[in-house]
A and B are shown apart, each in its own frame.
Chain A
Amino acid sequence: DAKTTQPTSMDCAEGRAANLPCNHSTISGNEYVYWYRQIHSQGPQYIIHGLKNNETNEMASLIITEDRKSSTLILPHATLRDTAVYYCIVSNTGNQFYFGTGTSLTVIP
């Protein structure tokens, strides 16, 4: 079963930062936090992952709280192409992914 909870949907204005929260209060010490997104009728696309420290790449930033019970994915300048379902997943390296319901992000012009 998924160990994460996310809001069902969010809107964001184009050009603004999109902040997507995720709760994972039962995360264990060696589990990573992963973020993927899925555009309609495509396979999920990797965005970012982290263990304890905040991470940033060309797509997004990942902020993980000190107790690791929650995290936030930040898309710094949302575009219309960022409209998708965003999934937060916790998993050990090499283990299965159990997807939750995700957050449907709509970027509004």
Chain B
Amino acid sequence: GAVVSQHPSRVICKSGTSVKIECRSLDFQATTMFWYRQFPKQSLMLMATSNEGSKATYEQGVEKDKFLINHASLTLSTLTVTSAHPEDSSFYICSARGSGTFKYEQYFGPGTRLTVT
């Protein structure tokens, strides 16, 4: 089946710094990638949708200047949390969707646990 990886799996950063999370589709071309955030004991919340080579579309209430998304290739998308604050601490999950047989599902990565101190 299709595999999506994320790196790092865990990251701790100081308040005010930026952190980048990578999402890769390992065995298929991801025409669309999605970024979610999940707080403890809550559901996944969609943050943004990105299509390869295009600007990301952000959900209402998500600050595009704070959460920078780049989808420069068909196998890689990055999420950069800029000027992180403790309230940005969360579980960040990406997913990817392709074409052909890969267009029906979203394939999820294992998630990245961000802690801002």
Binding site for B on A (CB under 8 A): 2, 32, 34, 36, 38, 41-46, 49, 87, 93-94, 96-102
Whether the Cβ atoms of B113 and A44 lie closer than 8 Å is: no
Q: How many residues of B contact A (CB 8 A)?
A: 24
User: B-side interface residues toward A, CB under 8 Å?
Assistant: 4, 6, 32, 34, 36, 43-46, 49, 91, 93, 95, 97, 103-111, 113
Contact B44 A94 (CB under 8 A): no
Determine if B43 and A100 form an interchain contact, defined as CB atoms under 8 angstroms apart: yes
Further pairs besides A43-B111, A98-B46: 15, Cβ < 8 Å: A36-B108, A42-B110, A43-B95, A43-B110, A44-B93, A46-B105, A49-B104, A87-B43, A87-B44, A96-B46, A97-B34, A97-B46, A99-B46, A100-B43, A101-B43
- What is the predominant secondary structure among interface residues of chain A facing chain B? loop
Contact yes or no, B49 A96, CB < 8 A: yes
- Minimum CB–CB distance from A58 to chain B (whole Å) comes to 12
Closest chain B CB from A93 CB (angstroms): 6
CA distance A100 to B45 in the complex (A): 9
Cβ contact of B104, chosen from A32, A36, A102, cutoff 8 A: A32
* B108 adjacent to A44 (CB under 8 Å): yes
